Amino acid sequence: MTVKQKSTKVKKNKREEAGTLTKKDFHMHSCYSDGELSPAELMRECCKRKINYAALTDHDTVDGVGEAIAAAGEFDIQFFPGVELSCIYNGRGFHILGLGIDHRDPVLLDKLDYFKGVRAERAVKIIKKLEEYGWNVDNSVLGKKDGIITRMEIAEAVKDKAISADIFFDKWLGKNRPCFVKRERMTVKEAIRLIHIAGGKAIWAHSAKTLEKDLGLLPRIVKEFKALGLDGLEVFYSEYSETQTKIVHGLALEHGLLMSAGSDFHWVNGLRELGGYDLYGLKFNPEEIINSLSDRG
């Protein structure tokens, strides 16, 4: 999820007053992928919000994990290294979270490096296409953080566009738009295997959002992913409705999958606030996932 969101201060205040903000968040992004805050700032923010269990899950990189571990120690937060892998299954894109991984695992790092290269090659092709349409891109700002160049970053670097990067992205760089370039992605099977090699748990992120328009497919795909080794589902998610949460909760129970909870926080003034998911009165036993991550040895 890479879309920049608008502020919803009213909603936020209501939630804070109601005391429904939760203290565990296993899905957040730093500036090492497409988030706004540095890992240290992110941990500071978690501390301010009294979140005592956190996982950093940047897109296809673990480069921010070291900084987050150091900061989490300072703020007394129990921290789990993580990653959010972009992958593909039957031609459709999915996000699988790797929680509690060893972020120094050489197989994991090799694979992430390879896909970093794939993104860089794609960026060159996108920029070439944009130039063919008369757009100029400020190359000097791209890949500044860790060499990963996202489409949103390219949209932000387009000069003289007179529209916001979000709108530019939708018009020019989104799927089937004039400057869209397909990117090689790992399969869901490879992603789950890679997470297991690195000692982590594979959790399907925001499944009911990814399949929002095809919700009927969800039960079958959960079954298929479980057969591939999936460990859990992100049952509680900042953008889930009550119905979506109940569906995913039911599937986790039915298949004996771990339940995870995450905000998918990216931006300080975004819709998704840290810890800002709703339980909708459902049973969530966070110790289950916490213990499974702590036990990885």
59 vs 135 by CB, closer to Zn ion: 59
Question: According to the binding rule CB under 5 A, does residue 264 interact with Zn ion?
Answer: yes
The one segment of 13-21, 138-146, 241-249, 262-270 that binds Zn ion by CB under 5 A: 262-270
CB of 244 to Zn ion, least distance (A): 16
Q: Supply the minimum distance, in Å, between the C-beta of residue 166 and Zn ion.
A: 17
Of 137 and 201, CB closest to Zn ion:
201
The stretch among 80-88, 136-144, 227-235, 284-292 that binds Zn ion (CB under 5 A) is 80-88
Give the integer Cα–Cα distance in Å for 212 and 244: 9
Residue nearest to Zn ion (CB): 264
Among the residue ranges 79-87, 137-145, 176-184, 237-245, the one whose residues contact Zn ion (CB under 5 A): 79-87
Say which residue the tokens 């989490």 belong to: 72
Residue with smaller CB distance to Zn ion, 127 or 186: 186
Contact window for Zn ion (CB under 5 A) among 82-90, 141-149, 211-219, 247-255 = 82-90
Point out which span in 78-86, 101-109, 212-220, 226-234 binds Zn ion (CB under 5 A): 78-86
CB of 268 to Zn ion, least distance (A): 16
Under the binding rule (CB under 5 A), the answer on residue 45 touching Zn ion is no
**Is 234 a residue that touches Zn ion (CB under 5 A)?**
no
Give the footprint of Zn ion on this chain (CB under 5 A). 84, 264
